[in-house]
Copies of this chain bind each other. A is one copy, B any other.
Amino acid sequence: MLKQRPQPEPVDRVFRALADPNRRILVERLSHGPASVSELAQPLPMSLPAVVQHLQVLQASGLVRSEKVGRVRTCRIEPAALRPVERWIAARRSAWERRLDRLGNYLTESSEEPKEGKP
């Protein structure tokens, strides 16, 4: 079957980007609207360079994009970047539910009288 090491995918970078609570706070803030780097940094208990580094990870994942106008860099969220992660999770959820359905059917059938094969 699968004998090759899978290539890193965008979904890896999105999961990794979201594994840090401070990066999730940045995404939460940007979900409500665009913000400058200093607006994003202001409430966070870390240095501006640390915030910039987190923003770089978010940009590399595709979740955030930024634009510099004059001296102000404005960041905004890219909701589409979350889609592969949403799809992956939804596929797992649906596999689990199908499995539970099959298990339910099996238990129902086993508790009924054995039947001859119907056409």
| Residues in A lying within 8 Å of B, measured CB to CB | 1-9, 11-13, 15-16, 18-22, 24-25, 27-28, 31-33, 43-46, 77, 79, 82, 85-86, 88-89, 92-93, 95-96, 99
Q: Are B12 and A15 in contact (CB under 8 A)?
A: no
Contact call B6/A12, Cβ cutoff below 8 A = no
Where chain A touches its partner, the secondary structure class is helix
Contact A21-B12, Cβ < 8 Å, known A4-B45, A95-B31: yes
Copies held by the complex: 2
Minimum CB–CB distance for A82 against chain B, Å: 6
Bound-state Cα–Cα, A7 to B86, Å: 25
User: In whole Å, how far is A28's beta carbon from the nearest beta carbon of chain B?
Assistant: 7
On whether the beta carbons of B89 and A85 are closer than 8 Å, the reply is yes
Residue in B1, B22, B96 whose beta carbon sits within 8 Å of that of A77 in the complex: B96
CB distance from A11 to the nearest CB of B (A): 8
Q: Which 9 A-B pairs have the closest CB atoms?
A: A15-B19, A16-B19, A31-B95, A6-B21, A1-B43, A15-B18, A79-B96, A2-B43, A31-B92
